[in-house]
Amino acid sequence: MAKSENSDKFVNSNRRMFFFWRNSRSDQQGKLKTKEMGYLITFLCLAILIVFYLLASSDKSDRNNDQNAEHIHNEKLLEIGVIDGAGNNRAIQHLVRMLRMLDYDVVEMRKSEMGLIEKSYVIDHSGKAEEVMQLAKNLGIPEDKVFQRIDKKLLLDATVVVGEDYLNLRLFKSYRR
């Protein structure tokens, strides 16, 4: 029995040393793992930030390319009013949608007080002649149908008066009654 007690003590003491050695070693490994995890997390965060930056910058360049490709795109936002002189409310609503797609700010839409109007025309209220001419060009209205009636009190840059010839306008080429 004495031998087995001594051997049990020896085995128990060896186990304690083994566990102590193993625990101290695992603490060191734990510290290394914690440090390595910190580096890994930092690296992943940087990688994610770089990916988001690249996606955001490529999205902006795609939008710029789309705008440059649009041949009738409006460079500067004009506030315009649309007057229905054609007697076709649906056609005027279509025109307003198309103008807004071209980045014009349509702030007013109403019926003509003078009844039906034969030919469409544009009135410049702000003195922005180039922009208003571009608006007329986008609509397909000839330059001789662009008039200047500057009124600083009026909040509109231009007014588009749509006449009975609206089906001849560029924005109505795909429109069906």
The share of the chain scoring above pLDDT 90, in percent, equals: 33
Residue type, 63: R
Q: Would you say 164 and 118 are in contact if contact means Cβ atoms under 8 Å apart?
A: yes
The share of the chain scoring above pLDDT 70, in percent, equals: 69
For 48-109, the DSSP string reads HHHHHHHHHHHHHHHHHHHHHH-TT--SS--EEEEEE-SS-HHHHHHHHHHHHHTT-EEEEE
- What is the mean pLDDT of the segment spanning 26-48? 78
pLDDT confidence band for 105 (50 / 70 / 90)? very high
pLDDT value at residue 123: 94
Angle at 160 between CA 157 and CA 65, to 5 degrees: 70
Residue that wins the pLDDT comparison between 17 and 114: 114
Each residue of 115-168: pLDDT tens digit? 898 999 999 999 988 999 999 998 999 999 999 999 888 889 999 999 999 888
Q: Output the pTM of the full model.
A: 0.56
